[in-house]
Structure 1
Amino acid sequence: MNAPTGRRIRVAVVFGGRSSEHAISCVTAGSVLQALDRGTYDVVPVGITTDGRWVLEADDPERLRITGPGELPAVDGERPRFDSATLDEIDVVFPLLHGPWGEDGTIQGLFEMTDVRYVGSGVLASAVCMDKAFMKVALQAAGLPVTAGITITAHEWAEQMDTVRSRCDELGYPLFVKPARGGSSIGIAKAHGPDELAAAIDGALVHDPKVLVEVSAEGAREIECGVLESLDGELETSVPAEIRITGDHEFYDFEAKYLPEEATELDVPALLDEETTRRMQDLAAAAFRAAGCEGLARVDFFLMPDGSLVINELNTMPGFTPLSMFPQMWAATGVDYPGLVDRLLQLALRRPTGLR
């Protein structure tokens, strides 16, 4: 699909949502709103409140910023309502929702049913990559290396606590405990021993009734790689980037990711030899294909002390905040932020609706 004749392309930027990542979605939307070329695009900001109401938001990127601890942006529920029937007046949607009810295939299903083009992966890939347990199954089936771990449910924890503890003990400590369908490091805790396990699981269950317990990749380097489709359908991979945690943060938690403090140091590109870089880029593209992703993805790796690579996560809608790695990696690769946003919208416009 090309630009509509005689008018600008009408793009709905959808953000907020019902998940615990509501504020991060707002921050991401602020960055995208600021980058969109208003000479090319007629922008319609659409906010989803934490209770699921759709509103026509203000086109005000400055309001959608984190200004300090406890000062997180949110969708303004007092704004005029957005009628989802109005979607037929939209040429393309840029869904900037993170977590459940947005990044997990739910809103993608709505767009598919209404024949609305949108940025990013479809229903299945979004759902699989959101649920880290099923993501591991898909990647393992393709022969790709993933972090060892187990999945437990709230029911299992309540009814079979001793069995769950034994299974976790068999993995060996330290362990990372995380919501299976979360992001932005919300609800993640590191259990250094059995005495810390219960609190970590209870904390993760606050965010998701399904929890992933994984072996900690001790001594590993945390490195990410971006994947982006080209307009001719080929896959491109970015230069990898490394995250190094500083200060009092033991791992890449929410504060280290998003609050304006010197909690991390980023190497973009990562200091890697050519062979490791090539292996990582090849694995990132293979993971993208194995999960059936479209448009974009960020693949997170552990580079183990022995030089092996393990895939930690695959994100179908990575953050676009000023501190986010995905746009930084592509900028270092030669695609600046406005160009990245435009590429994703053009990909979505060219993609057919219906089964593909």
Structure 2
Amino acid sequence: MKKRILLLAGGQSGEHEVSLMSARSVLAALPRELFEVTPLVVSRQGRWLPPADTARALEAGVAENGGESLLKRAVSVQGYDLVFPLLHGPNGEDGTVQGLLTLAGVPYVGSGVLGSAVSMDKVMTKQVLASAGLPQVEYRLATRRQWREGPEAVRDLAMELGLPLFVKPANLGSSVGISKVRSESELDPALNLAFSLDRRVILEAMTPGRPRELEVGILGNDAPIASPVGELRFEADFYDYATKYTAGQASMQIPAPLPPEISERVREYALRAFRALDCAGLARVDFFYVESSGKLYLNEVNTMPGFTTTSMYPKLWEAAGLSYAELVTRLIELGLEER
């Protein structure tokens, strides 16, 4: 019998359109002889859309308001063998939807509540990875209340790291709200922007030199494997939102031209991070590599990376000999495994 799959897409994050593009790719790739797939789009306002509105949203690339609330639709997920929550960022990739599906008793693709939540919060990720002995750039945490009540103390935290530095909301993806601060005059606007988006902000030291950006895909549950290492290349000062989502602004090279020992160390570190964070199913792990010193710094772990046919994660596995259709089929198999 065919497995009944509910494919969730859209969502309330800045990666709404990316999720819809990913969903279209997955819908086209899943073998119809194995799976009966029902797409369901979540609007930017968090409403779960009925089938007709879902179809229009997938075609148009954006979901309008309407539909039913999350709780009203929650009961309906129990009619499926598995849910593929192809959602990015807050209220999708951060453990919230995973908790709903866990309560409903329905298997799903990807990390559980713990792995999703910890990997989404940049500060928690760094604390867990530090305990696992993985190399990272130096950072500081500041809260919105600290900024309101003692802004000078927050400025002092930043100056401990030196300039330039990065200011990032702790719980957003897609480079939303991230600023590179080159001078003291740029610090307050960067902090105001980040705190307008999140109550927790991470101040992050600049990686020495101009590092190369490496990415590796992880696939599996308790016995994960690592893909070949890929490299992102771009001319912008850093991999900001415009560079990430403007065609032609960035390119990828797979496999990355690296010494074999560096590639192997990236893969080893990525697997250690995946296990330390209790991830499952899939993740893309990103690194900075300083070629002059040979040093690696783990940047972040993404538990539901972009999933179009041209996204880095599927391309990494294509380089390993796994086609897009085979990859999404394998993810469903992993989601159905007992955990």
Name the residue aligned to 2:252.
266
Q: Which AA in structure 1 matches 2:15?
A: E
Name the residue aligned to 1:215.
205
Can you list the C-alpha shifts for 1:164-183, whole angstroms capped at 9, x where unaligned?
A: 10110110111111110111
Compute the TM-score of the two structures, normalised by the length of structure 2.
0.93
Matched, 1:104 2:104: no
Name the residue aligned to 1:157.
147
Name the residue aligned to 1:255.
242
What's the offset of the Cα at 1:321? 2.5
Moved more, 164-173 or 30-39: 30-39
Write the distance in 2 (CA, Å) between the matches of 1:282 and 1:288: 10
Match of 1:140 among 121, 124, 130: 130
Q: Find the residue that maps to 2:13 and give its secondary structure.
A: coil
Write the distance in 2 (CA, Å) between the matches of 1:256 and 1:299: 19
What's the offset of the Cα at 1:16? 1.5
Matched, 1:347 2:338: no
Write the distance in 2 (CA, Å) between the matches of 1:223 and 1:318: 14
Write the distance in 1 (CA, Å) between the matches of 2:55 and 2:311: 16
Q: Which AA in structure 2 matches 1:207?
A: L
Matched, 1:77 2:68: no
Residue 259 to residue 57, structure 1, CA distance change in 2 (3 Å): farther
What's the offset of the Cα at 1:204? 1.7
What's the offset of the Cα at 1:206? 2.6
Name the residue aligned to 2:45.
51
Match of 1:316 among 303, 307, 314: 303
What's the offset of the Cα at 1:316? 0.8
What's the offset of the Cα at 1:100? 1.1
Name the residue aligned to 2:4.
10
Cα pair 1:118 1:349 within 8 Å, conserved = yes
Q: Find the residue that maps to 1:136 and give its secondary structure.
A: helix
Q: CA RMSD in A?
A: 2.0
Name the residue aligned to 2:269.
283
Q: Find the residue that maps to 1:31 and give its secondary structure.
A: helix
Write the distance in 1 (CA, Å) between the matches of 2:53 and 2:34: 16
Q: Find the residue that maps to 1:281 and give its secondary structure.
A: helix
Name the residue aligned to 1:245.
234
Compute the TM-score of the two structures, normalised by the length of structure 1.
0.89
Q: Find the residue that maps to 2:268 and give its secondary structure.
A: helix
Write the distance in 2 (CA, Å) between the matches of 1:341 and 1:62: 24
Matched, 1:21 2:7: no
State the percentage of identical aligned residues: 43
Matched, 1:180 2:167: no
Matched, 1:292 2:282: no
Write the distance in 1 (CA, Å) between the matches of 2:310 and 2:202: 26
Write the distance in 2 (CA, Å) between the matches of 1:61 and 1:37: 19
Matched, 1:33 2:20: no
Match of 1:234 among 209, 213, 223: 223
Write the distance in 2 (CA, Å) between the matches of 1:313 and 1:10: 33
Residue 10 to residue 345, structure 1, CA distance change in 2 (3 Å): same
Can you list the C-alpha shifts for 1:210-230, whole angstroms capped at 9, x where unaligned?
A: 111101113111101111117
Q: Find the residue that maps to 1:292 and give its secondary structure.
A: coil
Cα pair 2:75 2:104 within 8 Å, conserved = no
Residue 270 to residue 63, structure 1, CA distance change in 2 (3 Å): farther
Cα pair 1:30 1:62 within 8 Å, conserved = no
What's the offset of the Cα at 1:75? 2.0
* Structure that is richer in helix per residue: 2
Moved more, 134-143 or 41-50: 41-50
Cα pair 1:31 1:61 within 8 Å, conserved = no
Moved more, 308-317 or 251-260: 251-260
Number of equivalent positions = 335
Write the distance in 1 (CA, Å) between the matches of 2:25 and 2:335: 19
Moved more, 19-28 or 220-229: 19-28
Cα pair 1:104 1:127 within 8 Å, conserved = yes
